[in-house]
Amino acid sequence: MATGRGTSATDQPDGFGGRRPTSHEQVSGQQWDASYHDGPAPWEVGHPQATIVRLAEEGRFTGAVLDAGCGAGDNTLLIAEQASSVLGIDVAETALAMAREKAAERGIEAEFAAVDALDLQALGRRFDTVVDCGLFHALDTDERARYAASLASVTGPGARAYVLCFSDEGPETGPHPVRRDDLVAAFTTDTGWKIEAIEADRIETRFHDHGAPAWLASVVRTKG
């Protein structure tokens, strides 16, 4: 959820680097970058999410990895210590600058780029694993299908994606909670995916003592 001062999406549309503002940016009138202007964003907890740590320990991040919506890079840097290569992408330039600084300070090789997750084909690259920690739930219904198709454009058959997003089940839900059916509707054979599992999980935030209810979806890229 964006906070602080930002550029109005309606007053200065050119401030989006040629990309279309997301539904959240249109509603809030602020770019995602505004979330980093007055201190840490609500989702920046200063360390990798526990779920991402567990997946890493299980060896789930194989081959070339894409971290979609990487923010300040804590998850990306964890993955970079194990994966052969990792690219963290975001539209928030301030967050990317923070991520690059962390990588330099720790001597970790990780790549970060300002890229629209709804137009990944422009990258001209392929990935074997995708990580999404907190991006899916920030998109509206139409954007979610476009996003799934965008991920398919940079992955091949057998690639896997792990999507951690706020859930609508349980107390103290996070903003923009997602129904299980929302994940099912987005990741279909039409958009190039098959869901293997959707499990209850938690997402750490700066405003939840024990994390907010979440879904962890494991999806595999189908043929076509």
Each residue's pLDDT tens digit, 67-100: 999 999 999 999 999 877 999 999 999 999 999 9
pLDDT tens string 32-49: 577 777 777 778 889 999
Domain spans of the chain, in order of start: 50-221
Q: Is the pLDDT of residue 128 over 60?
A: yes
C-alpha–C-alpha distance, residues 121 and 198, integer Å: 26
- Local confidence band at 10 (pLDDT 50, 70, 90 cut-offs): very low
Least confident stretch, 74-78, 105-109, 167-171, 205-209: 205-209
Fold (topology level) of 50-221: Rossmann fold (3.40.50)
pLDDT tens string 139-187: 999 999 999 999 999 999 999 999 999 999 999 998 889 999 999 999 9
| Identity of residue 193 | W
Q: Is the pLDDT of residue 132 over 50?
A: yes
Q: Is the pLDDT of residue 5 over 50?
A: no
Which helix H or strand E contains 101, and what residues bound it? helix 93-106
Residue in 204, 164, 168 with CA at minimum distance from that of residue 42: 204
Q: Is the pLDDT of residue 56 over 50?
A: yes
Region class of 92: left (phi > 0), else alpha (psi between -120 and 50), else beta: beta
Percent of the chain with pLDDT over 90: 72
- Local confidence band at 14 (pLDDT 50, 70, 90 cut-offs): very low
**Tokens representing 145?**
């299908």
